[in-house]
Amino acid sequence: MRQRPFQQVDVFTATPYLGNPLAVVLDGEGLATEAMQQFTNWTNLSEATFVLPPTPEGRAAGADYRVRIFCPGAELPFAGHPTLGTCHAWLQAGGQPRTPGRVVQECGVGLVTLRQDGERLAFAAPPLIQSGPLDEVDVERIARGLGVARSDIVHHAWCHNGPHWRAVLLRSAEQVLGLRPDPATLGGLSIGVVGPRSAARQAADGCAFEVRAFFPGNHGLAEDPVTGSLNAALAQWLIPAHLAPRSYVVSQGTALGRAGRVHVDQEGAQTWIGGQAVTCMRGEVRL
């Protein structure tokens, strides 16, 4: 074991403890997969990441660093808030991208480009692996599990970009915030729920939609405070379907006492998912 630099970062917020936390080990060299998984499980956070030098292939393709992303019980090829949080921590620790203002991350899905946009970082959303409408059997099950009428689900789609999100659009943000999902009915499914905010609420804080993310957890159904991968997939569904503008801001985490803000921008064919991050803890871990 040795001492390794570490940060705990709050992502999709500029205010500590109102976003989605992430553990970042900034020197993962020499660590076995089992050790990475054990540490991730110990943190009791939704994800932990381990920064490594790029592979020779990644370096040749322009990668600034490589990251391995873990959630309790499994390694992930990609996840949104770990991507932004790791980049933030790497820059805070003195990382210097090859191209100023542009960072290239190597991870399980390949290379992911991030850009610095003022105080925000944004990642280029990877393409959807599966899209299109859900099976009606799934939609009816989701309606039962969320405790809403089938008619309250006005649109639905596969939003699979690594995580197998099944997404539904409800009539309003108020419906989204009022959900009390049934773990028994939704067991085994990852569900993304989005609802439009009223014009008055949007004018008050600039957020166009309220989002919630439910997924299988250690004790049944869990809720993620703020979810980059889901918001990336939602944008790739909602914008082409003319259900959302090309640029908008999402509020997520409200039901959990958080205040996450996810910035979505579509430029040409590329969708960018951005937000601020703040380091809450800095030190060393013994691994």
> pLDDT tens digits, residue range 190-242?
999 999 999 999 999 999 999 999 998 766 789 999 999 999 999 999 999 99
3-124+274-286 is classed in which CATH architecture?
Roll (3.10)
Q: In the predicted model, what is the mean pLDDT of residues 25-50?
A: 97
Bridge partners of residue 70, in order along the sequence: 48, 75
3 state DSSP class of 251: strand
Please state, in angstroms and rounded to a whole number, the distance separating the CA atoms of residues 141 and 38: 35
> pLDDT tens digits, residue range 162-198?
889 999 999 999 999 999 999 999 999 999 999 999 9
Please state, in angstroms and rounded to a whole number, the distance separating the CA atoms of residues 271 and 232: 7
Q: How many CB atoms lie within 10 A of CB 15?
A: 12
| The pTM of the whole model exceeds 0.85 | yes
- Domain spans in the chain, listed from the N-terminal domain onward: 3-124+274-286, 136-268
Q: Over 80: is that where the pLDDT of 86 sits?
A: yes
Question: 3-124+274-286 with 136-268: one CATH topology?
Answer: yes
Please state, in angstroms and rounded to a whole number, the distance separating the CA atoms of residues 244 and 268: 15
Tell the residue number behind the tokens 């970082």, with chain if given. Answer: 121
Q: What is the CATH code for 136-268? A: 3.10.310.10
Please state, in angstroms and rounded to a whole number, the distance separating the CA atoms of residues 90 and 6: 10
> pLDDT tens digits, residue range 101-116?
999 999 998 999 999 9
